[in-house]
Amino acid sequence: MLRIGDFEIHSVINGTMRLDGGAMFGVVPKVLWQRKQDVDELNRILLATRTLIALNRRAGAVILVDTGTGSKWPADEADRYGIAPSPVAVDDRLRDLGLQVADVTDVIVTHLHFDHNGGVTDWADAEKSHTRLHYPKARHWMHRRHWEHAHRPTLKDRASFLARDYAALEAPGALTFIERKEDRAPCEGISWFVSDGHTRAQLLPVFHGDGGPLIFTGDVIPTAAHLPVPWVMAYDLEPLVTMREKEAIYARCRREGLKLAFPHDPHIAGVELEPGADKPIIARTLEL
């Protein structure tokens, strides 16, 4: 657990999956990235899917950032991506903190790719004909431009969006839209970093206060292995934009002491970088 101001921050692995290593590292040759990765016979690397829990007891806020792949997967699709969800991991951690699912006040949906927010919904019936929200009492926060993009994706990224994951968010009042990075957040002490490199309007929260700030890096920096600026994914819609966004984040690390929490690293939840370095060098790992 990391304390930042009034926030208790926990990173919970809610499952694992495997994606093609070449796709995860773009133009970086395998001879470089394989040194740091668990690679299987299909050239897939091991990735975690993580939920960040930000608990602010003073404000009565129980905030989740991303929900993982969820468990609505047919066996053949799960096998393709090596998906192994732990659907009760977050709920169990909430119980360890003296909380229940019904206590979750807010879910920040960074973006709607299946590996980040398939867990927003569950099947509502045995026939799997429709879904329901896993956190029905929570406000779900998303950038409006990303919601619009998910309904009109490009040919390149449309396979990453599964309607079963977010159809239930169509219900009136389920979504709270962000339109500008200055817009309000679930509670005081949170600001927004809006990213357009990986996908349109990925919404990344920054937590402020003593001991911080800390950003959930989303797919701008999915793992510690992606810290070098040119190491970006082939999945990115605008890889050069991702690189500029990484540079902007690292400038804040040098200027503000910004810490990083990763969504996909199976071993490292987050890091603090060397403040004086001209490239991202890990000073210490974070206990989250």
Q: Note down pLDDT in tens along the chain; length 288 residues.
A: 999 999 999 999 999 999 999 999 999 999 999 988 999 999 999 999 999 999 999 999 999 999 999 999 999 999 999 999 999 999 999 999 999 999 999 999 999 999 999 999 999 998 999 999 999 999 999 999 999 999 999 999 999 999 999 999 999 999 999 998 889 999 999 999 999 999 999 999 999 999 999 999 999 999 999 999 999 999 999 999 999 999 999 999 999 999 999 999 999 999 999 998 889 999 999 999
The residues spanned by each domain of the chain are: 2-285
In this prediction, residue 181 carries a pLDDT of 85
pTM above 0.85, yes or no: yes
Q: Which fold has domain 2-285?
A: Metallo-beta-lactamase; Chain A (3.60.15)
In this prediction, residue 276 carries a pLDDT of 84
99, 101, 102, 106 alpha-carbon torsion, rounded to 10°: 100
Q: How far apart are CA 213 and CA 9, in angstroms?
A: 11
Give strand ranges (E) for the chain.
2-4, 7-20, 44-56, 61-65, 84-85, 106-108, 121-123, 131-133, 139-143, 175-178, 190-195, 202-207, 214-216, 259-261, 270-273, 282-285
Q: Which two tokens stand for residue 36?
A: 């740091």
